[in-house]
Amino acid sequence: MASTETIEQVKERIEELDPAEAQEELKKGGVALVDTRENNEYNEAHIDGAELVRPVDVAERIEEVVPDHSQRVILYCASGNRSARAADQLRELGYENAASVRGGIKAWEAEGLPVVMPEGMSAEQRMRYSRHTLLPEVGVEGQLKMLNAKVLLVGAGGLGAPAALYLAAAGIGTLGLVDDDEVDESNLQRQVIHNTTRVGQPKTESARKTIEELNPDVKVVEYRTRLDASNIIDIIKDYDVIVDGADNFPTRYLLNDASVRLRKPVVSASILAFDGQISTFVPFEGPCYRCLYPTPPPAELAPSCGAAGVLGVMAGVMGLLQANEVIKLVAGIGEPLIGRLLLYESLGTRFTELKVKRDPECPICGEHAPEVAPEEMGKFPDYELFCAG
Ligand SMILES: [Zn+2]
């Protein structure tokens, strides 16, 4: 087949069917229906009973799908060109009875003929998330996982704001927001989910309003409270992944210990001045927060962003790295930051990665860590005192 040949020349050599003719034949049976498009196109919509053979795979896979060279084969693609070339290829391979659907599945759908669409996604959702589903690694399957996922954000402030915005845009179906604070003018330099008119409103409420305007697919659950030993198990138990954007060490240790008990993955980040760090803690697969930091630093060495300065974009950079980790965990793609601590130094624009090992003596996830009986769940020492001491 000469590469200079036009599609019209190819089509002269093969048989083309109108969609209605193709449907008539399919009803009668005895036809092998082949979809010659890419995976993502097939996933979005295809004709019932079609077997996917990507254009690049035709020569290699057609024998497997249609072993009998005398069998009737009907091929289609999006608009009838790729399937015409495939029909021509089949002819050259010795198939006697291959035809291409003129105008492809677009013409088929335009005539109101039925197609199979993925369950659980509406027409609006297929449009909204098309740039996700176009990625073979994500696809419709990955998007459906996101729509069914429940992600809890601890803190609707610096890290939580950008993370929540992008997780909402991505279509994470349920976002829980834990924060007992109200929007302050000094937050707006980095907490972009809030705005000037929301000063004085609860942060969870302000964030919920922004998310609802951005993406109606997302259900927001507000927790206007601080995590403590008495409420943490109840709050985190129904979530798949937790984003740690807490602004204090007692909450970080408490969240770590509770998430290890319940085996919940936590994507943890922190920012200060021009520096940020992030790691993903998946209980018993990698280290936990305590393996990394066995003891909390003294209070005077742990300034929160409230008191110390932080470059606003640091919240965006690190919060979005967290959102990226969450999406990978939810969709089951890529390589999570398990056992790796990623440091970002913004003035030099340098990323550094440190390996972190599980501590066999870790009091929470180590070999000798005590089993926690169900009736002991939710009982924690007083973390405020522990850290202040
Ligand atoms: Zn540990």
Q: Which pLDDT tens digits describe the chain residue by residue (389 residues)?
A: 446 789 999 999 999 999 999 999 999 999 999 999 988 788 778 999 999 999 999 999 999 999 999 999 999 999 999 999 999 999 999 999 999 999 999 999 999 999 987 777 888 998 999 999 999 999 988 999 999 999 999 999 999 999 999 999 999 999 999 999 999 999 999 999 999 999 999 999 999 999 999 999 999 999 999 999 899 999 999 999 999 999 888 889 999 999 999 999 999 999 999 999 999 999 999 999 999 998 876 665 555 545 679 999 999 999 999 999 999 999 999 999 999 999 999 999 999 999 999 999 999 999 888 887 777 776 777 666 555 43
Q: How much distance in Å is there from the Cα of 285 to the middle of ligand 1?
A: 10
- CA 235–ligand 1 middle distance (angstroms): 22
CA–centroid distance, 10 to ligand 1, in Å, is 64
pLDDT at 60: 93
CA of 337 to the centre of ligand 1 (A): 15
Q: Quote the ligand 1 centre to 308 CA distance (angstroms).
A: 29
Closest by Cα among 84, 80, 90 to 59: 90
CA 265 – ligand 1 centroid, Å = 13
Q: How far is the CA of 368 from the centre of ligand 1 (A)?
A: 11
Distance 263 CA to ligand 1 centre (A): 12
For the segment 337-386, what is each residue's pLDDT rounded down to a tens digit?
999 999 999 999 999 999 999 999 999 999 888 887 777 776 777 666 55
- Alpha-carbon dihedral angle through residues 102, 105, 107, 113, given to the nearest 10 degrees: 120
Query: What's the gap in Å between 369 CA and the centre of ligand 1?
Result: 9
Q: What is the pLDDT of residue 386?
A: 55
Neighbours of 305 (CB within 10 A): 21
Q: Compute the distance from residue 319 Cα to the ligand 1 centre, in Å.
A: 23
pLDDT digits (tens, 9 = 90+) for 125-150: 989 999 999 999 999 889 999 999 99
Q: What pLDDT sits at residue 371? A: 81
- The token pair at 153 is 């954000």
Cβ contact 167:324 at 8 Å: no
Residue 389, pLDDT score: 37
Could you give the count of Cα atoms lying within 13 Å of 36 in the half-sphere of its Cβ? 30
CA of 364 to the centre of ligand 1 (A): 5
Give me ligand 1 centre to Cα 288, in Å.
Answer: 4
Cα 54 to Cα 61: distance, rounded to the nearest angstrom: 9
What separation in angstroms does the CA of 226 have from each of 4, 47, 232?
Answer: 68, 52, 9
Interval between CA 283 and ligand 1 midpoint (Å): 8
The Å distance, Cα 264 to ligand 1 centre, comes to 13
Check: CB of residue 34 under 8 Å from CB of residue 51: yes
| Ligand 1 centroid distance, CA of 154 (Å) | 20
What's the CA gap between 101 and 17, in Å, rounded? 5
What pLDDT is stored for residue 95 in this prediction?
97
Measured in Å, residue 76 CA sits from the centre of ligand 1 at: 55
CA of 360 to the centre of ligand 1 (A): 8
Query: Ligand 1 centre from 206 Cα, in Å?
Result: 35
Q: Distance, CA 251 to ligand 1 centroid (Å)?
A: 16
**Ligand 1 centroid from CA 114, angstroms:** 54
**How far is the C-alpha of 366 from the C-alpha of 374, rounded, in Å?**
19
Ligand 1 center to 136 CA (angstroms): 35
What is the Å distance from ligand 1's center to 225 Cα? 26
Closest C-alpha to 177, from 200, 211, 214, 149: 211
Distance 155 CA to ligand 1 centre (A): 23
What is residue 296's three-state secondary structure? coil
pTM confidence score = 0.73
Q: How far is the CA of 358 from the centre of ligand 1 (A)?
A: 6
Whole-number Å distance, alpha carbon 374 to ligand 1 midpoint, is 20
Angstrom distances, CA of residue 95 to CA of 58, 117, 201, 218, 294: 12, 30, 70, 50, 69
Q: Are 344 and 350 in contact (CB under 8 A)?
A: yes
